[in-house]
């Protein structure tokens, strides 16, 4: 998963980013609304964590901007405001959830998982396609009943492909989804991860197809 964190407190931002990255996710960080808008306009994110009190304005303006632009990326608001009216206003603007500061990082992670499950339309973290079973929360892959250990990037690539069955992903789009803005990587890295996943999926009914000039698509035999 790829997260956009909008938070001007650098110590808190580093702490949140570290916890998210421990789970193997990617994080882009913006300290201002202006930067957050640029990130949201040029990238794709699975979840946005949004502080309200920012140096260049109120985070609710960013929230409204995203919903007005028909961006349905889940947004969890991080707020020090505890009044019911404030929380109601944020939910009415389109926030999917909120966490009141100070918060426990474990609670934040749990809320992120819950919002992402709702977004996918599933109450469970296990995705089953053909004879392949993938637990997105635990990071476990089972192929025809056999457990396979994956590296972090392989996990996130498989999660992306399984969550968007039938969709074609170009190499550049996969780079954008699997790496942060600051990472210096080439499209060749994607070829390496695709090759590794194909090897893990050998013998199963699930395949990663190459569409020449377009990219990759996950397919499975019924």
Q: Residue 82: count other Cβ atoms within 10 Å of its Cβ.
A: 9
Average pLDDT over residues 157-182: 87
Would you state the pLDDT for residue 169?
92
Which tokens hold the place of 172?
A: 């550049």
Q: Which fold has domain 150-220?
A: Arc Repressor Mutant, subunit A (1.10.10)
Res 222 pLDDT > 80: no
Q: Which CATH superfamily is domain 2-120 in?
A: Response regulator (3.40.50.2300)
Supply the pTM of this predicted model.
Answer: 0.77
CB 78 within 8 Å of CB 49: yes
Res 156 pLDDT > 80: yes
Domain boundaries along the sequence of the chain: 2-120, 150-220
Res 221 pLDDT > 80: no
With a pLDDT cut of 90, the percent of the chain lying above it is 51
Supply the mean pLDDT for the chain: 89
Would you state the pLDDT for residue 182?
81
Only one residue has tokens 């999926």, namely: 201
Would you state the pLDDT for residue 210?
94
Which of 71, 74, 68, 32 shows the shortest CA–CA distance to 51? Answer: 32
pLDDT digits (tens, 9 = 90+) for 49-61: 999 999 999 999 9
pLDDT digits (tens, 9 = 90+) for 126-139: 788 888 888 876 77
Q: Give one DSSP letter per residue of 156-172, joined into a string.
A: HHHHHHHHTTT--B-HH
Pairing of strands 206-211, 146-148: unpaired
């Amino acid at each position: 998963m790829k997260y956009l964190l909008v938070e001007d407190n650098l110590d808190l931002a580093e702490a949140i980013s570290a916890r998210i990255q421990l789970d193997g996710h990617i994080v882009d960080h913006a300290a201002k609304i202006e930067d957050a808008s640029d990130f949201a306009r040029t990238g794709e994110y699975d979840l946005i964590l949004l502080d309200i009190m920012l140096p260049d304005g109120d985070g609710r303006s960013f929230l409204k901007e995203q919903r007005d632009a028909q961006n349905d990326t889940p947004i969890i608001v991080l707020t020090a405001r505890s009044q019911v009216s404030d929380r109601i206003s944020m939910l009415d603007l389109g926030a999917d959830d909120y966490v009141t500061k100070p918060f426990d990082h474990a609670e934040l992670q749990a809320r992120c998982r819950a919002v992402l499950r709702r977004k996918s339309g599933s109450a469970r973290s296990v995705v089953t396609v053909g004879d392949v079973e993938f637990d997105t929360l635990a990071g476990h892959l089972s192929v025809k009943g056999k457990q396979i250990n994956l590296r972090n990037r392989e996990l996130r690539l498989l999660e992306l492909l399984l969550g968007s069955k039938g969709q074609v992903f170009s190499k550049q789009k996969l780079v954008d989804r699997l790496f942060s803005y600051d990472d210096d990587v080439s499209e060749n890295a994607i070829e390496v991860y695709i090759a590794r996943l194909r090897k893990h999926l050998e013998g199963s009914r699930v395949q990663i197809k190459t569409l020449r000039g377009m990219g990759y698509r996950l397919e499975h035999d019924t």
